[in-house]
A and B are shown apart, each in its own frame.
Chain A
Amino acid sequence: MVTSAELLAAAAFAGGGHPQAFPSFGSERSGAPVVAYCRIDDEPIRSHEPIAEPDVVIVQDPTLLHQVAVFDGLRPGGTVLVNTGKTAAELGIAELPGLPRVVTVPAGQIGREHIGRPMPGPALLGAFAAVTGAIALPALEAALRERFPGDLGDANAAAARAAHDREVASAAPA
């Protein structure tokens, strides 16, 4: 999760933006819920406070949906991306307060297909790029290739692209 926020920042930076990414600082233990934040702006960002009113919430672990107040502070009309093969209705998040747009992404599965392991990060970010336009896919791919060496970088980029294209296709008029 921490890496995903960094990658998001890296993609934004590669696209010429001014990002800021940071984890919610806990004594992070493997298996415990973790939150990370990312701000993206065209100008340098001055404030460092945790994001209380996000425009977008990305949920990598759907088991947290009903355990942690994941959507607190989400702006009306905001966007939620969830790593899952289920539908929003099946997850019980089809009608959240403020009616944000909910996008389900089988990111783990896409990760398994392209990277060989069910890593949801790259696919979620690819979908994020398609859905919000806040980062560009080529910048995301470049950031993934820089972060992960050789074939692994290519695999991550492929997963991002696959998720991105899937969103673009599903948004296109039938």
Chain B
Amino acid sequence: MLRLLEGSMAVAETVGRCRPDVIAAYPISPQTHIVEALSRAVRAGELGDCELLNVESEFAAMSACIGAAAVGARPYTATASQGLLYMSEALFNAAGLGLPIVMTVANRAIGAPINIWNDHSDALSQRDSGWIQLFAESIQEAVDLHVQAYRLAETLSLPVMVCMDGFVLTHAHEPVEVPDADAVDAFLPRVAPAQVLDPDAPQTIGAMVGPDAFTEVRYLMHHKQMAALDAIPHIAGEFAAAFGRDSGGLVRGYRLDGAETVVVAMGSVMGAIEEVVDELRDGGVPVGALALRCFRPTPTAELREALAPARRVVVVEKAMSPGTGGIVGADVRRALDGCDTRVHDVIAGLGGRPITKASLRTLLARAREDRLGALSFLDLDRDRVAAELARAGTPTAPGGHAAQALAAAGLWEEDA
């Protein structure tokens, strides 16, 4: 049954139905509504014996999840941006130890400069941690992915990150269906953990591994991630059968038939991209789109299969590697190695700047005229950048570019 819900609330309700045993809660914009809702639910006795830990940092949150998972309890936490960075050491540790943990990341930019709005730099900064990283295009998909994530995490014994665009999806109200509790129970039976701290059968977890064995241990981790490439579509298929919705999986193509130009992106921006594709297709223009739903592991084969027939691929991504360029674009290029398809990185939407349909139309027009370079920044205010670069040589006010901007606007006053 569809209900009008805020994205965060829908996710919180869904997580509750996944019967977590331990919730580690630490607030950070824009995830706060999720942990608040779960705290209320625990207090109201709606989550059975679930223990809620109000931890003192995100690092503590992930550490508590590690402890809980290690004793066979089902953990949950959520974070974003700076919080994800703060728990980075624990992220790598959780993946290295092979612990089933599910976490929501309400994607938000990373500072400096501090910015609370949506982009993908947080999740992408942890792409080498060994976590599975799934990206939701809508609130409904975010909801569905949490259920699939627990199944995936506990099947493979790997931690899974469900990414949803901060504010854009967390704070939007839309009709959504929260999966039925009984159906979720059937989908997520209790699984005997691969390793567990049990006094009746003591194990040592987290020993030091030297040069003689470390490579093999890490290779096995890579192997497990590659196995996820099979598990993810399989679980998405089972989910579709049980709940009747197509969510998750590795990639989702949109109007790829005969598409000369394909736009690749992750997350909520796919909505605007699809609308633009529809407009262009109505005008007979052969464009299509591909949603990358699983970022880690990289669905290389699926990317290649979907994109190789296209003449050009425009990767619109909400993050970048300074001094290098696109991150998703690099994975797409690797997947298309040996093909003639040209790949264009477009950095867009950083720090919450909206990616408008107007800008997308202009972008695609340039791409189709082959006027798009290998790397470009969508909607970059070139005048502002040029002015700052010019000023950088001859500052008119002491201080950084903020002071210069105020001076240019005539708002800077020297201290008396």
The contact string, 1 if C-beta is below 8 Å from chain A, for chain B 326-366, is 00000000000000000000000000101111100000000
* Complex: A127 Cα to B204 Cα, angstroms: 68
B172 beta carbon closer than 8 Å to chain A: yes
Q: Is B174 an interface position by the 8 A CB rule?
A: yes
Within 8 A of A (CB), among B109-155: 116-117, 138
Knowing that A46-B270, A48-B269 touch, tell me 14 more A-B residue pairs with CB under 8 angstroms.
A13-B175, A19-B173, A22-B171, A22-B172, A22-B173, A25-B171, A25-B352, A27-B29, A27-B116, A45-B271, A46-B272, A46-B275, A48-B172, A52-B356
Q: Knowing A9-B173, A22-B172, A23-B171 are in contact, say whether A48-B268 is a contact too (CB < 8 A).
A: yes
Contacts of B138 in A (CB 8 A): 46
Give the complex CA separation of A46 and B357 in angstroms.
12
Within A71-112, which residues are at the interface with B (CB < 8 Å)?
none
How far, in Å, is A30 (CB) from chain B's closest CB?
A: 17
Q: Is residue A156 contacting chain B, with contact meaning CB distance below 8 A?
A: no
Chain B residues 256 to 306 lying within 8 A of chain A, measured CB to CB, are 268-272, 274-275
Instruction: Give every chain A residue within 8 A of B4 (Cβ-Cβ).
Output: 9-10, 13, 19
Please tell me if B24 contacts chain A, counting CB pairs below 8 Å: no
Q: Is A50 an interface residue (CB 8 A)?
A: yes
| 8 intermolecular pairs with C-beta atoms under 8 Å apart | A13-B4, A22-B168, A23-B171, A25-B171, A25-B352, A46-B272, A48-B272, A49-B357
B residues contacting A by CB (< 8 A) are 4, 6, 29-30, 116-117, 138, 165, 167-169, 171-175, 268-272, 274-275, 352, 354-358
Q: Which 4 A-B pairs have the closest CB atoms?
A: A46-B271, A22-B172, A25-B167, A47-B272
Please determine whether B173 and A6 come into contact, CB atoms closer than 8 angstroms.
yes
Question: A46's closest neighbor in chain B, by CB?
Answer: B271
| Residue of A9, A27, A46 with highest tally of chain B CB at under 10 A | A46
Which A residues from 1 to 55 make CB contacts under 8 A with B?
A: 5-6, 9-10, 13, 18-23, 25, 27, 44-50, 52
Given A6, A21, A47, A50, which contacts B275 in the complex, CB threshold below 8 Å?
A47
Question: Could you tell me the distance between the alpha carbons of A22 and B174 in the complex, rounded to whole angstroms?
Answer: 9
- Are the C-beta atoms of A20 and B272 separated by less than 8 Å? no
Min CB gap B28→A, angstroms: 13
CA separation between A20 and B5, bound complex, in Å?
10
CB distance from A144 to the nearest CB of B (A): 14
Q: Which residue of B174, B270, B271, B356 has the most chain A CB atoms within 10 A of its CB atom? A: B174
Name the A residues within 8 Å of B355 (CB-CB): 49
- Alpha-carbon distance between A46 and B175 when the two chains are bound, in angstroms: 12
Chain A residues near B6: list those with CB within 8 A.
Answer: 6
Shortest beta-carbon distance from A112 to chain B in Å: 28
Chain A 119-142 interface residues, beta-carbon cutoff 8 Å to B: none
Instruction: Establish whether residues A50 and B354, one from each chain, have CB atoms under 8 Å apart when the complex forms.
Output: yes
Interface contact A18-B354, CB-CB below 8 Å = no
Q: A5 contacts which chain B residues (CB < 8 A)? A: 173
Contacts of B174 in A (CB 8 A): 18-21, 45
